[in-house]
Amino acid sequence: MTLANNGGALGETIPDSNLDGSRFVRACLRKPVDRTPVWFLRQAGRYMQEYREVRKHHTLVEICKQPELAAEVTITAAEKLGVDAAIIFADLLLPLEPMGLDFEFQAGEGPVVHRPVRTAEDVHALRTDRAGDLAYVARAIEKVAAHFRERLGIIGFCGAPYTLASYMIEGGSSRNYIYTKRMMYADATAWRGLLDKLVAVLTAYCRQQVEAGADVIQIFDSWVGSLGLSDYCAYAFEATQQLVRAVQAMGVPVIYFGVETAGLLGQMAQTGADVIGLDWRQPLDEGWRAVGHARAVQGNLDPITLFAPMEVLEERVKEILRAANGRPGHIFNLGHGIVPGTPVESVQAVVRMVKEFRLEGPRG
Ligand code: CP3
């Protein structure tokens, strides 16, 4: 494939035979598409009235564990927004439970792990033989896949080893990752043992999701930006690469996402992931250059732009699409998740803007 253009964004016609597969999956593989696909990180969530209604009657974990409810929340959000992909409603922390760590979401506090992993013995005690307990996520994917069939791309997901390890060790969200980095630096055997166990469980979990109908797997390394490049290479890269390769061997593309990753992008691309998520702190074309044009990219609108006046929002959306410049392999998204209080109309407006966008034709 050449890097010349993705046809659609320039308004060209693409033969039908080149349009197999959803627009979203095609973009992940850097194949030509009729227009740039769009979806949003955290597109189902508290900013949406329909989700808040369901949440009145069920906890977050209850929704995740009841495939009927998880599928409904997933489908409602994707249809209301008119996006090109549906991400299954689940949470990053679900695999902790079958590994032997109880957690809960406390209002306003985020996730809390009751007995965090702090020692080699704690790592030793973690179980890897119960990934089957997570099958409720696969059952929800089956329902979403049956609903959308070929119309939308269906995204399964899991946390990356580093980000999940940080939740297990810190016991929740963290500012400085002191316990995590202390184990990483001081006890290489425990650290590597923890990452190996995570890779084993996450691989099995992703396999269930792919077998259930996920077209793509997104690996969230949300907190990897807490690592400098040397530490990323020394302590996180290899386990992530193993997970990426294991998922690709299942026959689906992988999106690898992180935040505050400007200094890590080149190395993140070395995992072999098909698509790299970009946050908004650098222009999309700069981020793409750092990733290398042999990979697709996803991003990178600042989620808080959704609170801006329409003209500002539109300018930012167009800036991103112009920076992508019609090159195959751009998936429009935010640089991180939608936050509570975001006006739904602004999210819908972005979908419209992406759908209507045309690059100015070649000059001269
Ligand atoms: O449409 C969707 O994307 C929703 C599905 C989804 C959830 N969590 C449900 C959820 C997804 C993709 C996630 C991933 C997730 N979970 C990540 C990676 C994405 C990112 O933002 O970096 C992370 C870091 C988590 C861990 C997590 N879950 C945190 C830190 C919190 C609390 C912070 C917050 O936003 O409130 C959660 C809770 C959570 N997971 C909510 C939702 C909709 C909100 C709480 C609720 O409904 O009670």
How much is the CA Rg of the chain, to the nearest whole Å? 20
Q: Tell me, letter by letter, the H, E, C secondary structure of 182-201.
A: HHHHHCHHHHHHHHHHHHHH
Q: Is-catalytic flag, 42?
A: yes
Ligand 1 lined by 92 (C-beta under 6 Å): yes
Residue 236 contacts residue 224 (beta carbons within 8 Å)? yes
Residue 157 contacts residue 226 (beta carbons within 8 Å)? no
Q: Is-catalytic flag, 327?
A: no
105 sits in the region (left: phi over 0; alpha: psi -120 to 50; else beta) called: beta
Q: What separation in Å is there between the alpha carbon of 210 and the centre of ligand 1?
A: 21
Q: Is the pTM of this model over 0.85?
A: yes
What sign does the dihedral 225-117-112-45 (CA atoms) show? Answer: positive
Instruction: Say how far apart CA 328 and CA 152 lie, in whole Å.
Output: 19
What sign does the dihedral 32-267-262-206 (CA atoms) show? Answer: positive
β-bridge mates for residue 299, sequence order: 332
Q: Which helix (H) or strand (E) holds 23?
A: helix 23-28
Question: Which of 42, 207, 295, 316 is flagged as catalytic?
Answer: 42
pLDDT at position 361 is: 64
β-bridge mates for residue 3, sequence order: none
Q: What is the pLDDT of residues 227-281, one digit of tens each?
A: 999 999 999 999 999 999 999 999 999 999 999 999 999 999 999 999 999 999 9
Q: Is-catalytic flag, 91?
A: yes
Buried b (16+ CB within 10 A) or exposed e, 304-336: ebbeeeeeebbebbeebbebbbbbbbbbbbbbb
What sign does the dihedral 228-234-236-238 (CA atoms) show? Answer: positive
Q: Please list the pLDDT of the chain residue by residue as tens digits (364 residues).
A: 333 334 334 434 444 444 467 999 999 999 999 999 999 999 999 999 999 999 999 999 999 999 999 999 999 999 999 999 999 999 999 999 999 999 999 887 789 999 999 999 999 999 999 999 999 999 999 999 999 988 999 999 999 999 999 999 999 999 999 999 999 999 999 999 999 999 999 999 999 999 999 999 999 999 999 999 999 999 999 999 999 999 999 999 999 999 999 999 999 999 999 999 999 999 999 999 999 999 999 999 999 999 999 999 999 999 999 999 999 999 999 999 999 999 999 999 999 999 999 998 654 3
Ligand 1 lined by 50 (C-beta under 6 Å): no
Q: Which atom of ligand 1 is nearest to the CA of 89?
A: 5
Q: Which amino acid is at 106?
A: Q
CB atoms within 10 A of CB 55: 16
pLDDT at position 6 is: 41
CA 177 to each of CA 108, 159, 227, 297: distance values in angstroms, whole numbers, following the listed order: 20, 17, 9, 28
Residue 104 contacts residue 112 (beta carbons within 8 Å)? yes
Instruction: Tell me how far apart the terminal alpha carbons of the chain are, to the nearest angstrom.
Output: 25
